[in-house]
Amino acid sequence: MASLPCRHFLLLHLIILSAAALDSPQEQDTPVTRFQQYLRIKTAHPEPDYSSAVSFLVSQAQSIGLQYRTIEFSPGKPLLLLSWLGSNPSLPSLLFNSHLDSVPAEPSKWLHPPFSAVRTPDGKIFARGTQDDKCIGMQYIEAIRNLKHKNFTPSRTIHVSYVPDEEIGGLDGAAKFVHSMDFDDLNVGFALDEGQASPGDEFRVFYADRSPWRLKIKATGPPGHGSRMYDNSAMENLMKSFEVIGRFRESQFDVVKASKASNSEVISVNPVYVKAGITSDTGFAMNVQPSQAEAGFDLRLPPTANPEEMKRRITEEWVPAIRNMSYEIIEKGPIRDHMGRPLMTSTNASNPWWLVFEQAITFAGEKLAKPEILASTTDARYIRHRGIPVLGFSPMSNTPILLHDHNEHLQDTVYLKGIKVYETLISSLSSFMEA
């Protein structure tokens, strides 16, 4: 490249300069450049820069006259709450939630650095968080900015929350928030939280999340020489469990393969680690049968699953104590409410909020796919646990699903259309008087 002719170098230099000017927040202040600014704040685990993200969002809130406050349920983990007071504050309010954090990224696997928020000439914005879920976090603010510009006044108060730690389970974020006095004081009647991109024309909407269980199983047995055939050895017992769990996994998967249910409507179980064997400096001792063996499984239960039945199955069939086995389940969040009902938000006429939501999408000129259970998990489950209807919704149609993936990106036009969709949603929901 050293032999590059001088005028080419100059041209290249000019292109780089003009590209930098295009993306530079100092040069322009538009919805897209503000989105890029938010994306450039590194809130990826394991060291999310929450304070910079909150400062940026506060400056945005101030620029459009929103009330704001931060609450810290855990030191160094702020939750930001923005509020737009309604003309009838006694009505239950609306909550628009998103999370501040994101999962890490492997820069070497990306076309553009994951925290550069590069916008390519064809309008793709590359950054960790473009889809999950800094898009909605900024779209809420931009939609409010536009509605204020149009002199719209909401009847219901609108709250926008930015919570920490969603990507690591939400225990120091949404889980504490929903059980706080601060949350009770908001008197939330209906909430929207993140959804997922849709590769087709229709927006996806989610009425429930699956609940993760982390299952660790342990087997013990007589140790001994690798040449002997023991009955009930640790490895033999662990392998039997694998067989039984594998059959259950197949039975669930068959239902999906036969198109009788979607992936998110069945119980998934996947092995994630196996730990066994006696090691030394030279590696595994190949002639010793270990006295202990352990394995870990990721289970996801839809709210329609019966957790008691699942525990019975684990105790009696998967990990029977008579085979010298024990287990531990770590349940990541609730699956039922206090009355024992599955955590699901109705998507029929029994839920007036659903009807308003559905009409608003139509009014915005958009289409909705059949409501789904989310295969993974969001903070929405904590809000549903308080008996509040919540829909998971991120307005990204004709978009590949790239959350947690390399090269996560979002088309600028899709982002901008989403702002218009939230304008319609916020105005319709906040003007709805009957619920």
In the complex, minimum distance from the CB of residue 136 to Zn ion, in angstroms, rounded to a whole number: 9
- Contact letters for Zn ion, residues 35-74 (x by CB under 5 A): ----------------------------------------
Beta bridge partners of 368: 203
Chain-centroid distance of CA 310 in Å reads: 25
In the complex, minimum distance from the CB of residue 176 to Zn ion, in angstroms, rounded to a whole number: 18
Nearer to Zn ion, 194 or 209 (CB): 194
Secondary structure E strands in 164-256: 188-193, 206-209, 211-220, 224-225
Cβ–Cβ < 8 Å for 274, 294 = yes
The single residue among 101, 132, 142, 423 that binds Zn ion, judged by CB under 5 A, is: 132
What part of residues 184-213 is at the interface with Zn ion (CB under 5 A)?
Answer: 194
d(CA 364, CA 111): 34
The single residue among 23, 101, 133, 193 that binds Zn ion, judged by CB under 5 A, is: 133
Active site residue 366: no
Amino acid code (one letter) for 105: A
In the complex, minimum distance from the CB of residue 103 to Zn ion, in angstroms, rounded to a whole number: 9
In the complex, minimum distance from the CB of residue 279 to Zn ion, in angstroms, rounded to a whole number: 38
Q: Name the segment binding Zn ion (CB under 5 A); options: 133-141, 231-239, 345-353, 362-370.
A: 133-141
> Quick check: 23 binds Zn ion (CB under 5 A)?
no
Nearer to Zn ion, 64 or 168 (CB): 168
Q: Name the segment binding Zn ion (CB under 5 A); options: 103-111, 124-132, 251-259, 382-390.
A: 124-132
In the complex, minimum distance from the CB of residue 7 to Zn ion, in angstroms, rounded to a whole number: 47
Q: Name the segment binding Zn ion (CB under 5 A); options: 15-23, 84-92, 127-135, 362-370.
A: 127-135
Q: Name the segment binding Zn ion (CB under 5 A); options: 128-136, 168-176, 273-281, 425-433.
A: 128-136
Nearer to Zn ion, 132 or 265 (CB): 132
Of 132, 165, 166, 194, which residue is the catalytic one?
166
Of 101, 132, 133, 372, which residue is the catalytic one?
101
Q: Report the length, in residues, of the chain.
A: 435
Active site residue 101: yes
d(CA 72, CA 58): 15
Nearer to Zn ion, 131 or 424 (CB): 131
Q: Name the segment binding Zn ion (CB under 5 A); options: 26-34, 131-139, 170-178, 408-416.
A: 131-139
In Å, how far are 41, 112, 161, 266 from 108, measured between CA atoms? 19, 9, 33, 35
Cβ–Cβ < 8 Å for 80, 54 = yes
Helix H or strand E encompassing 12: helix 6-23
Q: Give me the helix-helix angle, 412-431 and 31-40, nearest 10°.
A: 100
Nearer to Zn ion, 404 or 420 (CB): 404
Nearer to Zn ion, 132 or 165 (CB): 132
Taking alpha carbons only, the member of 243, 147, 157 closest to residue 430 is: 157
Nearer to Zn ion, 43 or 268 (CB): 43
In the complex, minimum distance from the CB of residue 432 to Zn ion, in angstroms, rounded to a whole number: 27
In Å, how far are 74, 171, 193, 286, 310 from 135, measured between CA atoms? 25, 23, 12, 52, 37
Cβ–Cβ < 8 Å for 388, 91 = no
In the complex, minimum distance from the CB of residue 206 to Zn ion, in angstroms, rounded to a whole number: 12
Using DSSP's 3-state secondary structure scheme, residue 235 falls into helix
d(CA 211, CA 214): 10
Torsion angle (degrees, nearest 10) of CA 184, 190, 191, 196: 150
Beta bridge partners of 280: 283
Number of residues that bind Zn ion (CB under 5 A): 3
By the criterion CB under 5 A, which residues form the site for Zn ion?
Answer: 132-133, 194
Active site residues: 101, 166
